[in-house]
Amino acid sequence: MKNSTSGYTLTEIMITLVVMGVLSALVTPSLFALLTRQQLNSAQANALNVIRQAQSTAKQSSQKVQACFRTSSTNGVEYQVQTVAQPEVAANNCMGAWQTLVTGGTNIQVDATNSSMTLRNSYRSIRFQDDGWVDGSMGRITFIPKTRTMPRRCVWVSTLIGTMRTAGDDGSSDANCT
């Protein structure tokens, strides 16, 4: 009579679990870094679209329009586009409804140190005249993860006629967002 046993021993199962645990520990940080970079890229692309929307709205409506950005403790980066009342009034301070810039991007924030758009109260803004040209100063909005200062993604409004460009900085010596 044959004594047949099939299956795995406890030792084989334990070794398999240890190997899977080690592989998981190696892959997890890379996965989080990938997700963070993806959220930064989304924030950059969405911010560029918001600024373009403000410029386009200014041209179409023949009014001054501004795009505003801020960091929220619950939603990450928020934005709004609004018409600037003339003459200047307190309502121009982006007090309306804020919208989330990146869905699920709660670990992304506006980089206060490396953003050069006009700081008004607790938000950064860029204003466009009724012809789409920049009203006041040009500048950039820079996004970083909440837990560290790299990588960075930014949107520049770099000329008076409202030319926009994007840049990224992953810690190399030729920083594009500073």
pLDDT tens profile 78-129: 999 988 876 666 556 787 889 999 888 788 999 988 888 888 888 999 999 9
pLDDT reported for residue 103: 85
Q: Is the peptide bond before 145 cis (omega within 30 degrees of 0)?
A: no
> How many angstroms separate the CA atoms of 20 and 139, rounded?
48
Give the count of alpha carbons within 13 A of 108, CB side only.
30
Residue type, 106: T
Chain-centre distance of CA 82, in angstroms?
Answer: 20
* Residues of the chain scoring pLDDT < 50: 172-174
> How many angstroms separate the CA atoms of 58 and 132, rounded?
6
CATH topology (fold) of 10-169: minor pseudopilin epsh fold (3.55.40)
121: left (phi over 0), alpha (psi -120 to 50) or beta: left
Strand 118-120 relative to strand 123-128: parallel, antiparallel, unpaired?
A: antiparallel
Q: Return the number of other C-beta atoms located less than 10 Å from residue 140's C-beta.
A: 24
Task: Indicate the domain borders of the chain.
Answer: 10-169
**Residue 173 burial (10 A CB sphere; 0-12, 13-18, 19+):** exposed
* Rounded alpha-carbon distances, angstroms, from residue 10 to 4, 19, 21, 155: 17, 14, 16, 56
CA–CA–CA angle 74, 29, 103 (5° rounding): 30
What is the chain's length? 178
pLDDT reported for residue 173: 42
